Chain A
Amino acid sequence: MVWHIFKKDWKLLWPFFLAVAAIQFIPAAIRVKLGLFGEDPVLEYALVPATSIACLAVAFLAVAIVHQDSIPGVRQDWLVRPVRGRDLLVAKLLFILVLVEGAAIAAATFQVLASGFSLRESLTAAFFQNLFLISMITLPAIAFASATKTSMECIIAAIVTYVGGAALLIAFAIARGGNERPASVGTGASWITLSAGLIVFVLGTCVVLGMQYIYRRTAIARGAIAVSCVLFVVVFELLPWKPLFAFQQHLSSQPGVAHSMTLSLDATLGKYHQPSGLTLSDQELWERSHKQGSPAELFVPLSISGLPADSILKADKSELRLISSNGQVVYRGSGEDLEVRQEGTSNRQSSAYQEFDIPQAIYSRLKSQTLRVEIGYSLTLFRLDTAFGIPALGGDLRSPKLGWCETQMNESGSAVELHCMQAGNAPTCATAFLENPSTGMRNPSLSSCEPDYAPHFLRSDVDPISHYGLNLRFRDPSRLTQYPVDGPQLPKSQVVLRLYDPQDHFTRQLIIPAISLRDWEST
């Protein structure tokens, strides 16, 4: 009877379905129109509401389909008919997951195809991107719908749950003191937390649907929704970093590649010198001008050895412990971003400064003491995967690894914009520089390394296409900096784009037996 129920819903809801299917194509068409450089501000503004409406439309249709034969209540006609609950469930899931999500996948496929990717790439990207939306939006919508009688009830329940979840997040943030973030936020391993959360949603939905369609236990189903939401927040907030990173280590593509890498204090580097304000971005300058009462910045000089050629070392997390002479831990905190690049073939020693921001009150109390410092590093070694050369002006390159990249001069004529897009997940760690092959001159390389270690097929975004890129300066409007490859050389120059792959996730412990914090303040 599954097919029979499916046909009944189709007869009743096909106009609604066609409208929702059409809505899916609006953000897809906007994204195609925006292309690589997205220079139409009207379309850019329209994209966010169009995407939200497309997601909400799918959720609303899913709710409407479920509510055609709602579960809670005692008046529904189907309750006294020889209709099996599981037939009803399968029919509803078939409609939502095949037809409704099929329309969303079709729209995403259209977008990727229209951006010049192959049918296979398009279908794969569209399918996996929708898998995320299904577990994040559609399945919870089905669960809410099955535990409510009307759309209005469902919306109210969703709002109440959202507000409750937000309150719980705020409570956790207050409990953390408002400074620390949840363990995985901002790291490449955040996909594990998100996946765990989504698994909670999927399992919760299974429980809710089972309770409703097989046993008609609305109170238990509603409880399961509440528990799932609380668990989602708890997983997001409380999943500890160490087991999370251990899991990531387990997934290393080249485990042991970084076994010879060491980290040590290199006092010979001396104190860190803040760069001239002229080299800082507007954002950094603004931050510096608003630093009254801001934390003390310490820079610990590090020597890193054993880095392979053409590699990038990235600290996913650095956990600092300051221990007083009597063995008491007097401060715990996290270090700022640490990225060490080893470009070229030489296997020399590298150095870097590890920044720690310590609250002023604590710093004032500890700065003159001799402390033992322990830094627990969770690190990832990236190795060069591929390098591409693209003409600096008007470059247009497509490749399966790279996706599609183009170059153009920026409006002020001071930088080359390199913009790329890739179907599905793009490389998350790349460096690029301008090079004049005829002279062999090259500008300093820039990196864009915000890693995401999610398996390639796991795409957690509303866009089936990833965008990445860099702005490569060749002219300093203030004329204080001269670039080896400058404007006149651009027609003969190329952008060299180097893509890096995460190969090994590993940990290192740096112990400095005795240190005085004031020695490592910046100057």
Chain B
Amino acid sequence: MIQVHKLWKKFGRNDAVRDLSFAVPEGSAFALIGANGAGKTTTIKILMNILHSTRGTAEVLGIDSRRLSPRELTQIGYVSENQDMPHRMTVEQFLAYLRPFYPTWDRELEKSLLRQLRLPGERRIRDLSHGMRLKVALASALSFRPKLLVLDEPFSGLDPLVRDEFMEGLLHQAGEMTILISSHELGEIDGVATHVAFLDEGKLLFQESMSDVIARFREVRVTLEREPAAPTHAPSDWLQLRTMGNVVSFVDTQFSKDGLGERVKALLPGVRDIDTQPMGLRSIFTTLARTARESAV
């Protein structure tokens, strides 16, 4: 559905995106995660042909993103936290304006989305709150049953109630569509994403299916018989290695139930107990982000 190959984007002397490559499989819910300024929005804007890349290629629906035409855009829904919608229009006027552009626009679906998202059709867009505007954008992006739905930081600035309504609206209609979602609100993505890519300072740190990520990251606490000397040659896949008394903790990024015990015992003498805990996406993200920052320093 989306193929990005060695993508670069420079703004002046700054590299916003560096040598980025990833692929979004059809039917997946692909989360692009990373801290603010990681390059998520820039990547999405290149995919939508709003920005042009400095180098590299990006294909959307099998077309070079620089050649995206109205024909492809009839199949792509887009919602962004900073989308400027025609603020003088009412919600109804806006949707009525968009209808003729999309051959697959479904009036019944539109009505049901307006009801579900509790959108006031007669209100001008400029009079709506940020959350309401995002819901209008979502309704306008879902009403034509797009093949690809691109969500750029859709949860930013939303209160929990609106966030829930937004997610309900999204999940209710998701069906077969492919979703590309960028966010740093990882709690929301956790239950939605099937694939995840982690961006840091414009670079891709990894891309894989959510189940693989969840499976290979573990928080490990090793209790030793006595306080250990500082380990001098910890494996590179152990992150955030910490010692507190006789307890050593770290994040194992290549967790294997069978291999962990042997590896720990080989490095840390006097192991009394090994406790492993699965990690949520939020914890994985913060671990990776911290590690990336520490290594940058």
Contact = CB atoms under 8 A, between A and B. Distances in A.
A401 interface: no
A68 B85 CA distance: 10
Interface stretch (B71-79, B158-166, B240-248, B261-269): B71-79
Contact of A11 (B70, B73, B80, B93): B93
B82 interface: yes
B86 A81 contact: no
Contact of A12 (B71, B83, B89): B89
Contacts of A73: 84
A76 interface: yes
Nearest to B103: A82
A84 to B, nearest CB: 6
B97 A83 contact: no
Contact of B101 (A11, A68, A83): A83
A: contact size bracket = 10 to 19
Nearest to B82: A75
Contact of B50 (A1, A4, A69, A80): A80
A42 interface: no
B31 interface: no
A75 B48 contact: no
Interface core residue of B51, B82, B84, B88 (most chain A CB under 10 Å): B84
Interface in A53-75: 68-69, 73-75
A77 interface: yes
A170 interface: no
Interface in B85-114: 85-86, 88-89, 93, 97-98, 100-102
Contact of B73 (A1, A12, A81): A81
A74 B76 contact: no
A81 B74 CA distance: 7
Contact of A81 (B45, B71, B89, B101): B101
A79 B48 contact: yes
Contact of A80 (B48, B71, B82, B89): B48
Contact of B51 (A11, A12, A74): A74
B68 to A, nearest CB: 10
Contacts of B45: 74
Interface in A1-33: 1, 4, 8, 11-12
A4 B83 contact: no
Contact of B86 (A1, A4, A68): A68
Contact of A77 (B51, B76, B85, B88): B85
Contacts of A69: 86
Contacts of A77: 83-86, 137
A236 B64 CA distance: 46
Interface string B26-41: 0000000000000000
Nearest to B96: A8
B70 A82 contact: yes
Given A4-B97, A4-B100, A11-B93, A80 B86 contact: no
Contacts of A80: 48, 50, 73, 76, 78, 83
B: contact size bracket = 20 to 34
A76 B78 CA distance: 12
Interface string A88-119: 00000000000000000000000000000000
A454 B263 CA distance: 94
Nearest to B78: A80
Contacts of A81: 73, 98, 101
B61 to A, nearest CB: 13
B102 A12 contact: no
Contacts of B86: 8, 12, 68-69, 77
A63 to B, nearest CB: 15
A69 B97 CA distance: 13
A83 B102 CA distance: 10
Contacts of B100: 1, 4
A404 B82 CA distance: 61
Nearest to B51: A74
A56 B288 CA distance: 57
Contacts of B97: 4, 8
A79 B97 CA distance: 15
A133 B270 CA distance: 91
A74 B74 CA distance: 19
Given A74-B50, A74-B51, A79-B50, A84 B70 contact: yes
Contacts of B80: 75
Nearest to B41: A74
A74 B49 CA distance: 10
B88 A12 contact: yes
A104 B93 CA distance: 29
Interface in A174-224: none
Interface core residue of A73, A75, A84 (most chain B CB under 10 Å): A75
Contacts of B85: 77
B117 to A, nearest CB: 17
Nearest to B84: A75
A75 B137 CA distance: 13
9 contacts: A1-B101, A74-B45, A74-B50, A77-B85, A80-B50, A80-B76, A81-B73, A81-B101, A82-B74
Given A77-B83, A79-B50, A83-B70, 15 more contacts: A1-B100, A1-B101, A4-B100, A11-B93, A12-B88, A73-B84, A74-B45, A74-B51, A77-B86, A80-B50, A80-B73, A80-B78, A80-B83, A81-B101, A82-B101
Interface of B: 45, 48, 50-51, 70-71, 73-74, 76, 78, 80, 82-86, 88-89, 93, 97-98, 100-102, 137
Interface of A: 1, 4, 8, 11-12, 68-69, 73-77, 79-84
For the complex of A and B, the 8 pairs showing the least CB-CB separation, nearest first, are: A82-B70, A80-B78, A82-B73, A75-B84, A82-B74, A77-B85, A74-B50, A82-B101
